[in-house]
A and B are shown apart, each in its own frame.
Chain A
Amino acid sequence: MSIYKRRAEGARDFAFFALVPLVAFLLVVFIPFLLGLYMTFTDSSGLSLSANFMGLENYAKAVADASFWTSFAFTAKYVLVSVLATNALALGLSLLATAGIRGQNALRLGYFTPNLIGGIILGFIWQFLFAKVFTSIGTLCGGGALSESWLTSPGGAFWALVLVGVWQNSGYMMLIYIAGLAGIDKALLEAAQMEGAGYWTRLRKVILPLLAPSATISVFLTLQRGFMVYDVNLSLTQGGPYRSTELIAMHIYNEAFLYQRFQTGQAKALILFALLAAASLIQVGLMKRREIES
């Protein structure tokens, strides 16, 4: 085969296999990422490349903005509570759904259902529940924590967001724990049983340690999702009451598209990205180490 023919073939194969996705990826992900980085160091609002170099001024402005840190602290609290609650619940659900009862597939299907539906719709469903259904349950029970809509107070709205997030994600994380449970060698459990270990002992000494890899994945995913929540936030609380429940994704969205501060908005987005990447690295690092020990 001549070198020209081989080159022509190489070009044809590249065009056939790689050209379209490569261009789409470059245009949609790669270039916006670089341009976003460029924006934060200049006063460019994106398209015009002829802009003034601003150094770290946009980052300084972002970091000096108290509302950014308020929102960030609120998000961190939300993520911490949701990660713990979602994973504890997901683990419990996975044990229930694999206990060998009749119709256990129905359990799995039921718990997973909220996951299929978009956050916007889930938020609206719960808005109705908090505003109408729970208050009327509260009245039936003679007042108490339910008699007033959770969404009208900042503290209540926080727990409302957590509740919806846990409800939405626990079924998904349950599937990951179920996959982990299915991978446990049954001989091991039988051996433990022969030795006289009861269910709780087997759970604590055999099952939970062997689920460590599933926990690493599941915590990683809940962490990522928690920091990115936007839809449910928008439809459930709109950040209210009094901007008290603005999660970081909504804060960045508003900074850019509501207040038209593209550069500081992008600086905040990149700070979030860096913090999230660092948090994930630490989490996976710590949890992987525990996997090896156990």
Chain B
Amino acid sequence: MKQRSHRPGVKVAIAILGFALVALYLFPFAMVLVNSVKPRLAIVADPLALPAKADFSNYVNAFRLMRFPRAFWNSLGVCVSSVVLIVVFSSLWAYYLVRWKNLINRIVFFVLIASMIVPFQALMIPFVSIYGGLGLLNSKWLLSVFYLGFGCALATFMYHGFIKSIPLELEEAAMIDGATKPMIFIKIIFPMLTTMTSTICILDVLWVWNDFLLPSLVLVSEEKRTLPLSTFYFFGKYTSNYGTAMAALVLSILPVIIFYLAMQRKILQGVVDGAIK
């Protein structure tokens, strides 16, 4: 939205205020970054000072102590497999709920929408007692299936809204040629859903990647920890070792920031589409 009404002086003031606020918003990250290359004593003496010289030994320590590569691959594995499961099965389910109009499907869709207002806190206790009791916790692959369960309602709802607007005529020609419904979905429908798919991918990548509570309940053993989990336990142990702790924070933020810089437009758009649904 452009407003030409602001006078040049006003524009300068807006720019100054706007960018000063950006600096304020990013100040916490700058502090972490600055202190991550300082030895512990220099941080205690003056956390505001710039480092005399960049010392990367904190990073070496943090990388090793928090088992960064392992946590990173765990996170990546859980994130990619969860998002793939959500995208594939939610789009299939949404198509089924749109095109097979019967009472059961209408009830299922209603339950699905109603379930979206149930907070995770209202499910976690029975969830843990069921799957803990069955000995099914502590698996990265089951964690992806749990994410499918928790994430499919929103994704199916979003796909549903889009698929509803696809005219049936597009499929009829293929049907006359003898194509089955699954073939029609794979060849015709799914390729039309790319915008929605990228929105859902972005929302779910950010959710799964940053989620703490569910993996903290599911992944019991140390070697399966995702990045937020390993940061949490690491920070608890090394709180007073500021330099290493700050380096660990930078390392755990880095992957998201790279993702953000690479796809900034898509991310901002995706978040808006997801919120306004």
Which chain A residues have a beta carbon within 8 Å of chain B's beta carbons? 9, 12-14, 16-18, 20-22, 24-25, 27-33, 35-36, 39, 45-47, 93, 96-104, 106-121, 124-126, 128-129, 132-133, 136-137, 140, 167, 171-172, 175-176, 178-179, 181-182, 184, 186, 189, 193, 199, 217, 221, 224, 227-228, 230-231, 234-235, 249, 252-253, 256-257, 262, 265-266, 269-270, 272-273, 276-277, 280
Cβ of B221 within 8 Å of any chain A Cβ, yes or no, is no
**Selected A-B contacts with CB under 8 Å, 17 pairs:** A13-B181, A17-B96, A25-B112, A29-B123, A30-B111, A47-B130, A107-B22, A116-B206, A116-B210, A117-B253, A128-B32, A182-B1, A221-B275, A230-B213, A231-B212, A256-B124, A273-B122
Contact A21 B156 (CB under 8 A): yes
Minimum Cβ distance to chain A for residue B22 (Å): 4
Q: Sorted from nearest, which 9 A-B pairs have the closest CB atoms?
A: A28-B149, A46-B129, A118-B210, A110-B22, A17-B96, A47-B133, A36-B126, A21-B89, A24-B149
Q: Considering the chains assembled together, what is the distance between the CA atoms of A77 and B11 in angstroms?
A: 37
Query: Within the complex, what minimum Cβ distance (angstroms) separates B68 from chain A?
Result: 14
B72 interface residue (CB < 8 Å to A) = no
Asked if residues B130 and A133 are in contact (CB atoms below 8 Å), the reply is: no
**Cα(A101)–Cα(B16), bound, Å:** 10
Closest A-chain residue to B239, C-beta based? A127
Bound-complex Cα distance A217 to B276 (A): 7
Separation of A181 and B92 alpha carbons in the complex (Å): 35
Residue B161 is within 8 A (CB to CB) of chain A in the complex: no
- Kindly state the interface size class of chain B when it binds its partner: 35 or more
B158 within 8 A of A: no
Contact of B129 with A100 in the complex, beta carbons under 8 Å:
no
Task: Give the number of A-B contacts (CB < 8 Å).
Answer: 271
- Dominant SS among interface residues on chain A: helix
Cβ–Cβ < 8 Å partners of B48 in chain A: 133, 136-137, 140
Interface flags, B32-54, vs A, CB<8A=1, else 0: 10010000000110111000000
- Chain B residues whose C-beta falls within 8 Å of the C-beta of A93 in the assembled complex: 21
Is A119 a contact of B275 with CB atoms below 8 Å?
no
Contact A113 B272 (CB under 8 A): no
B253 touches A25 (CB 8 A): no
Is B145 on the interface with A (CB-CB < 8 A)?
A: yes
Q: Which B177-198 residues have a C-beta within 8 angstroms of A?
A: 180-182, 185
> Do B47 and A133 touch across chains, with their CB atoms under 8 A apart?
yes
Q: Which residues of B contact A273 (CB under 8 A)?
A: 118-119, 121-122
